[in-house]
Amino acid sequence: MRRLLLLRHAKTERTNPGGDHARRLIERGQQDATRVGAFIQRELIVPQHVLVSDAARTRETFARLIQGFNQPAPATFDPTLYLAPPYTILDAIRAAPEDCETLMVIGHNPGIHQLAYDLGQRGPHKLVAALAAKFPTCALAAIDCDGATWRELHSSNCRLARYMTAKALRVHEPADMDDDC
């Protein structure tokens, strides 16, 4: 079984003098990305490869995210993923190396949300409903893909296994945990 992790970049500044592509993470976004990385290490399978939009905010999300991993995760920074629609993201996934069993994509809304919903409509009703409702910054959808290669990826062979938001992770932290982790 393959696992696809779809992540929206973390919280960013509203504007940047360099334009939208240059927008950077704010402090909360930096903390959330590190927190989600620790969650992935603890609860999920660390990806063997990561496809990342080449925008500053997705690159920075990736850099913070991997701080929580015990092993490195190689990345491809792909300019076609910048503000990409779902079919472009799906094309990038289908081109992933076949020996990669766990793949992550870090991208942007609305494309990353739409793809997560398209592939994750099967799964626990509560999770699917939460995913359908919103995909905020640093939201993560873990989608299990049964018996398929990346080239054969389709909603009929996918199932939403987990859906987590950074806000939910912040709410469930122990009271004595340092927020600057």
Number of domains into which the chain is organized: 1
Alpha carbons within 13 A on the beta-carbon side of 18: 8
d(C-alpha 10, C-alpha 26), whole Å = 8
Query: Residue 181: which pLDDT band, with cuts at 50, 70 and 90?
Result: very low
Query: Residue 71: which pLDDT band, with cuts at 50, 70 and 90?
Result: confident
pTM above 0.85, yes or no: yes
User: Does a structural domain hold residue 27?
Assistant: yes
Say yes or no to pLDDT of 172 above 70: no
User: Does a structural domain hold residue 179?
Assistant: no
User: Does a structural domain hold residue 128?
Assistant: yes
d(C-alpha 101, C-alpha 147), whole Å = 11
d(C-alpha 111, C-alpha 43), whole Å = 25
User: Does a structural domain hold residue 59?
Assistant: yes
d(C-alpha 94, C-alpha 108), whole Å = 18
Q: Which domain holds residue 53?
A: 2-171
User: Does a structural domain hold residue 164?
Assistant: yes
Say yes or no to pLDDT of 58 above 80: yes
Average pLDDT over residues 148-166: 91
User: Does a structural domain hold residue 178?
Assistant: no
Q: How far is CA 121 from CA 90, 126, 161, in A?
A: 16, 11, 10
Return mean pLDDT, the chain: 91
Of 7, 76, 61, give the one whose Cα is nearest residue 29: 61
Average pLDDT over residues 97-113: 96
Give the CATH number of the domain where residue 44 resides.
3.40.50.1240
Average pLDDT over residues 43-66: 95
Give the three-state DSSP class for 38: helix
Say yes or no to pLDDT of 157 above 50: yes
User: Does a structural domain hold residue 180?
Assistant: no
User: Does a structural domain hold residue 176?
Assistant: no
Query: Residue 180: which pLDDT band, with cuts at 50, 70 and 90?
Result: very low
User: Residue 159 is encoded by which pair of tokens?
Assistant: 């199932």
